[in-house]
């Protein structure tokens, strides 16, 4: 986002602080250094590179880099944040533990070299488990310090967040102290959020949401203002996620999905305006939404985790009525569009905590149709979304399985192949067995590649295998996978164990062959 776009919203920090007793807490970023100590557990706002603190973390990193003082923290955030913050902290050796999702080369390297402890978890469970104290048992369930980006502080001290909610209500609740970054370069987001009471069992009541535009909570996060120890002004924009144009493969995958949805309507398994849609992040997801924007469906609703740029296109066509998410994962240009037509878009969007957007109760009740991207899928419909080769962490599970295990229709889409340095089709994304499984065969209904779409509903395991191989595998790998399946079937049939045939000594041969030869095209089984 350019400064010219944000400047029309720029105001004095005092005008955004409704509770005037908090004016005494306004300070410079460097004045917050005294609140940080080695070994603390910190909670930040943010979900994807949106709504995260952009000034104080950089100031702390500058301090560590300048002084050489050791400061290492446990870091709990709803999802990933901007690379200029957490990835720089990782480069400086400032992160001990990180939950539950991250992006950045330095932090990924720290995780995969054993320097940073990281655990991923279903995002709808993460926020609740954070509040339950499961991650901070040694601290009696508390965080030492929360750092939260806000766009306004109301007269009662309520916090109006920015472009994401994530796990902020939980972080505010269990943090001993709070530092607020009040971003005056953005509009106040007042009216965009829906923050319900944050309850715990056995006192948790049902979330009475049956439509994507239902509201059950407050427009702000209520906090104990006695916790607020500092308020720092920020004028830094969100680090918008850049998007490249959809490629031919993404567009073919998108068309396969659109054809499938049209067929579901014609078959009477979905209404003419579909059911609420969930779409993950990335070029394939954008291509699907772009296709919907050009397609026949009208009065569409979205219940998802994040909104990308093509959702704005979808709104502009008049075919998308309303969207619920926990974050606006827009590009720089996308934020410019959002703010240019702020009053129009804000009437059609609701941002909620991740434990609401990703909650099984609402996903099942509304019959959400979910679409997400894995690393690979095996022939029986198990999917790996997190670990390359079963060992190297990419980002984390995220919220994909929150949706896939609860959706009315659960889809996973990916290219059939990916290139290696020596072979443009050296890696098949359809394998005999995924080396790590995030999504089981019980969770997935439909697998899609640019080659075709495999509808697995109602199929037994061996039927699923042939459907996936025939419909989704690349031509270079279809005979190889078919040969493996037939060999495994005959092998297991002799042992009267052929319900879901595998040969344990050969099931990862394609992955082993890749390590040695730069391709997964095995010559024989």
Collapsing DSSP to helix, strand or coil, 179 comes out as strand
Q: What would the 3-class secondary structure string for 69-94 be? A: CCCCEEEEECCCCCHHHHHHHHHCCC
Which of 107, 100, 407 has the alpha carbon at shortest distance from 280? Answer: 407
Collapsing DSSP to helix, strand or coil, 273 comes out as coil
Please provide the size of the chain in residues.
525
Q: What would the 3-class secondary structure string for 3-66 be? A: HHHHHCCCCCHHHHECCHHHHHHECCHHHHHHHCCCCCEEEECCCCCCCCCCCHHHHHHHHHHH
DSSP designation for 338 = H
Q: What is the rounded distance in angstroms from the CA atom of residue 147 to the CA atom of residue 161?
A: 12
| Catalytic-role residue among 149, 152, 264, 305 | 305
The answer to whether residue 152 is catalytic is no
Bridge partner list, 195: 218
Strands 143-153 and 427-428: unpaired
Bridge partner list, 301: 322
CB atoms within 10 A of CB 15: 10
Query: Chain centroid to CA 48: how far?
Result: 7
Provide the H-helix boundaries in 226-366: 248-266, 283-294, 309-316, 332-340, 342-345, 354-357, 360-366
Strands 143-153 and 369-372: unpaired
Q: What is the rounded distance in angstroms from the CA atom of residue 146 to the CA atom of residue 173?
A: 9
Q: Which residues are catalytic?
A: 305
């Amino acid at each position: 986002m350019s400064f010219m776009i944000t400047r029309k919203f720029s105001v004095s920090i005092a005008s955004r602080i409704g509770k005037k007793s908090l004016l005494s807490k306004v300070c410079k970023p460097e004045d917050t250094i005294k609140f940080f100590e080695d070994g603390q557990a910190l909670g930040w706002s943010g979900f994807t590179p949106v709504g995260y603190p952009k000034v104080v973390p950089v100031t702390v990193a500058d301090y560590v880099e300048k002084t050489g003082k050791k400061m290492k923290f446990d870091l709990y955030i709803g999802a990933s944040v901007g690379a200029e913050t957490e990835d720089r902290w990782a480069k400086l050796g400032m992160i001990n533990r990180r939950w539950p999702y991250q992006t950045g080369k330095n932090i990924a390297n720290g995780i995969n070299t054993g320097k940073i402890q990281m655990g991923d978890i279903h995002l709808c469970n993460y926020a609740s488990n954070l509040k339950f104290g499961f991650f901070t048992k040694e601290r009696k369930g508390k965080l030492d310090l929360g750092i939260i980006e806000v766009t306004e502080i109301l007269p009662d001290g309520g916090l109006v967040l920015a472009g994401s909610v994530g796990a902020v209500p939980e972080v505010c609740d269990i943090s001993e102290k709070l530092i607020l970054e009040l971003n005056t370069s953005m509009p106040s987001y007042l009216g965009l959020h829906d923050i319900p009471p944050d309850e715990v069992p056995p006192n948790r009541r049902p979330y009475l949401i049956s439509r994507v535009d239902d509201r059950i909570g407050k427009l702000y996060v209520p906090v104990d203002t006695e916790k607020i120890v500092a308020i720092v002004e920020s004028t830094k924009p969100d680090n918008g996620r850049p998007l490249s144009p959809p490629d031919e493969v993404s567009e073919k995958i998108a068309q396969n999905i659109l054809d499938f949805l049209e067929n579901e309507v014609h078959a009477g398994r979905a209404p003419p305006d579909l059911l609420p849609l969930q779409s993950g992040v990335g070029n394939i997801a954008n291509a699907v939404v772009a296709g919907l924007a050009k397609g026949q469906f009208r009065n569409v609703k979205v219940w998802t985790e994040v909104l990308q740029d093509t959702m704005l296109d979808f709104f502009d066509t008049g075919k998308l009525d309303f969207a619920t998410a926990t974050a606006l994962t827009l590009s720089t240009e996308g934020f410019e569009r959002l703010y240019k037509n702020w009053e129009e878009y804000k009437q059609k969007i609701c941002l909620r905590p991740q434990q609401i957007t990703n909650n099984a109760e609402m996903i099942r009740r509304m019959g959400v149709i979910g679409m997400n991207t894995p690393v690979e899928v095996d022939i029986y419909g198990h999917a790996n979304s997190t670990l390359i080769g079963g060992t190297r962490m990419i980002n984390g599970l995220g919220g994909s399985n929150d949706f896939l295990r609860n959706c009315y229709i659960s889809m996973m889409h990916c290219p059939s192949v990916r290139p290696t340095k020596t072979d443009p089709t050296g890696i098949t994304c359809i394998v005999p067995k995924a080396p790590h499984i995030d999504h089981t065969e019980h969770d997935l209904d439909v697998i899609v590649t640019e080659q075709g779409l495999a509808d697995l509903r109602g199929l037994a395991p061996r039927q699923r295998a042939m459907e996936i191989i025939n419909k989704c595998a690349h031509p270079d790998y279809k005979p190889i996978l078919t040969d493996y399946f037939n060999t495994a079937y005959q092998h297991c049939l002799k042992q009267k164990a052929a319900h879901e045939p595998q040969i344990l000594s050969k099931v990862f041969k394609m992955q082993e062959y890749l390590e040695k030869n730069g391709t997964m095209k095995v010559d024989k089984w």
